[in-house]
């Protein structure tokens, strides 16, 4: 790509979910303004909202987001995931959530909140723009990064990657999977339990989505639950210290260059009144993984056959990092070695909402940390 044809910004943020918006907020607070030509419809005046820094600009930024509108992954979460049933959503920095009706779908409430936030702060967000690749312009470690997108090209001194996991549902491979005559879907495609009425539903996975959906689906039809490992239920309360310990564990993994673990593998499954009721109904009786999928059901570990019309894979997500592949950030441990939010081997790239920061509170903190790191980096590289 020719740098002459690229829109230039000091910092490009990829993704406008909780993590990307937090980064944009902190960039603006530190005196960054929208990158001129690229900031379609968001002039400097708009960006100088109540949270903007005074004085000359510290640099320029732009957020590129693949969605058609605000909300990040919340735009796509199933309608029955209500504000009452999510695990607790942290406020975005600077503007608290308006009053919440617990019965409202998280998808509509949070999309509205994020949209108002972007508008009120005049954040420079372009969408829909999908980043296809990030490459180094040359061998200079303080040089620029080229960003190719579905719309146009950008050139930046640093990239804050905030692309989440929703677009990378993980489907394990099981023998006979292609032979199944019923319906297979991942939780990323789940709409409503009503679709499954009259069919036996197999739910695979040991995380929060699996148990939440088992509870919901079992109210309209029969279900069987399969997990690879015995699920780990947490009997002790999940307090601040427990949250801190869980984050510290994942932080240590990514510092060592290992792939981050799922949240539930470090926190354990947390009992809620609804899950206790589901357990009392026998819905949370877990079976070890089936050995094969057959056209009309699955072969159980004990050799018996279980007929089913639906297999729901609640098997988690992976980080959406395809576009960073040309930078060869992955190390021999299979993960990306990190120093806080900064990629250890490529200080111009920060990952936010990744690993230890893949919660709404973590995403907030990561956005602030990434911006602080980039301010230092840019000051050092002149
Ligand atoms: C079912 C479910 C329920 C959850 N509930 C909670 C909860 O209650 N509380 C909590 O704290 N956490 C919860 N989480 C975790 C939650 O995902 C994170 O906390 C947070 O919402 C993720 O924010 P994010 O900004 O990292 O990612 P996202 O919200 O996924 O935003 C990423 C953005 O990047 C965009 N993008 C992706 N690739 C590209 C690209 N190549 N180019 C441009 N843009 C791109 C996406 O379109 C999206 O807009 C839940 C997760 C799941 C799956």
Looking at CATH, the fold of the domain delimited by 177-232+268-313 is given as: FAD/NAD(P)-binding domain (3.50.50)
Helix (H) or strand (E) holding 227: strand 223-227
Q: Can you tell me the distance from the alpha carbon of 371 to that of 58, in angstroms, rounded to the nearest whole number?
A: 12
**Domain ranges in the chain?**
7-167+317-381, 177-232+268-313
- Confidence class of residue 4 from pLDDT cuts 50, 70 and 90? low
What is the rounded average pLDDT of the residues 191-208? 96
Q: Atom 53 (ligand 1): residue with closest C-alpha? A: 166
pLDDT at residue 46 greater than cutoff 60: no
Q: Which of 17-21, 74-78, 259-263 has the lowest mean pLDDT?
A: 259-263
pLDDT of 50 reads 47
DSSP label at residue 95: B
pLDDT tens, position by position, 101-130 = 999 999 999 999 999 999 999 999 999 999
Phi-psi region of 164 (alpha: psi -120 to 50; beta: other; left: phi over 0): left
Q: Are strands 59-64 and 125-126 parallel, antiparallel or unpaired?
A: parallel
Q: Is the CB of 167 under 6 A from ligand 1?
A: yes
Q: Atom 7 (ligand 1): residue with closest C-alpha? A: 87
- Calculate how far, in angstroms, residue 186's C-alpha sits from the geometric centre of ligand 1: 16
Best residue among 163, 210, 264 to mutate for probing ligand 1's pocket (most ligand atoms within 8 Å of CB) is: 163
Q: Is the CB of 349 under 6 A from ligand 1?
A: no
State the sign of the Cα–Cα–Cα–Cα dihedral 45, 51, 54, 57.
negative
Which CATH architecture fits 7-167+317-381? 3-Layer(bba) Sandwich (3.50)
Per CATH, 7-167+317-381 and 177-232+268-313 having the same topology is answered: yes
Closest atom of ligand 1 to 165 CA is: 30
- Calculate how far, in angstroms, residue 241's C-alpha sits from the geometric centre of ligand 1: 24
pLDDT of 358 reads 86
Total-model pTM: 0.92
Closest atom of ligand 1 to 87 CA is: 8
Q: Is the CB of 353 under 6 A from ligand 1?
A: yes
- Confidence class of residue 262 from pLDDT cuts 50, 70 and 90? confident
pLDDT of 54 reads 63
pLDDT of 263 reads 65
Q: Is the CB of 15 under 6 A from ligand 1?
A: yes
Q: Is the CB of 323 under 6 A from ligand 1?
A: yes
- Cα 13 from chain centroid (whole Å): 15
For 252, 285, 345, 379, the CA distances from 106, given in Å and listed in that order, are 31, 28, 37, 40
pLDDT tens, position by position, 278-307 = 999 999 999 999 999 999 999 999 999 999
């Amino acid at each position: 790509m020719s740098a002459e044809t690229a829109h230039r910004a000091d910092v490009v943020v990829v993704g406008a979910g909780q993590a990307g918006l937090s980064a944009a907020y902190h960039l603006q607070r530190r005196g960054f303004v929208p990158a001129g030509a690229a900031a379609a419809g968001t002039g400097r005046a708009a960006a100088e909202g109540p949270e903007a820094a005074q004085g000359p600009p510290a640099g320029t930024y732009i957020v590129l987001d693949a969605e058609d509108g605000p909300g990040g992954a919340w735009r796509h979460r199933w309608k029955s995931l209500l504000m009452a049933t999510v695990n607790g959503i942290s406020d975005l920095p600077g503007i608290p959530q308006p009053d919440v009706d617990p019965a409202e779908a998280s998808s509509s409430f949070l999309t509205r909140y994020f949209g108002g936030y972007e508008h009120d702060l005049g954040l420079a967000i372009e969408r829909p723009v999908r980043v296809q690749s990030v490459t180094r312009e040359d061998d200079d470690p303080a040089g620029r990064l080229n960003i190719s997108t579905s719309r146009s090209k950008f050139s930046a001194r640093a990239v804050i990657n905030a692309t989440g996991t929703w677009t990378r549902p993980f489907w394990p491979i099981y023998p006979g999977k292609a032979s199944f005559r019923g319906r297979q879907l991942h939780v990323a495609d789940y709409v409503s339990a009503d679709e499954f009425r009259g069919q036996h539903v197999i739910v695979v996975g040991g995380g929060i989505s699996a148990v939440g959906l088992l509870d919901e689906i079992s109210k309209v039809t029969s279900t069987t639950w399969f997990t690879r490992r015995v699920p780990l239920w947490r009997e002790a309360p999940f307090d601040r210290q427990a949250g801190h310990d869980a984050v510290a564990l994942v932080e240590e993994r990514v510092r060592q260059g290992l792939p981050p673990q799922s949240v539930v593998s470090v926190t354990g499954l947390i009992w809620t009144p609804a899950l206790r009721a589901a357990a009392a109904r026998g819905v949370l009786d877990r079976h070890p993984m089936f050995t094969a999928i057959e056209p009309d059901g699955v072969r159980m570990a004990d050799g018996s056959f279980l007929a089913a019309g639906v297999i729901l894979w609640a098997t988690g997500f992976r980080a959406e990092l395809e576009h960073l592949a040309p930078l060869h950030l992955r190390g021999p441990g299979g993960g990306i070695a990190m120093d806080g939010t900064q990629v250890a081997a490529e200080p111009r790239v920060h990952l936010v909402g990744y690993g230890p920061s893949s919660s709404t509170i973590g995403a907030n903190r990561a956005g602030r940390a990434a911006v602080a790191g980039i301010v230092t980096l840019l000051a050092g590289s002149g």
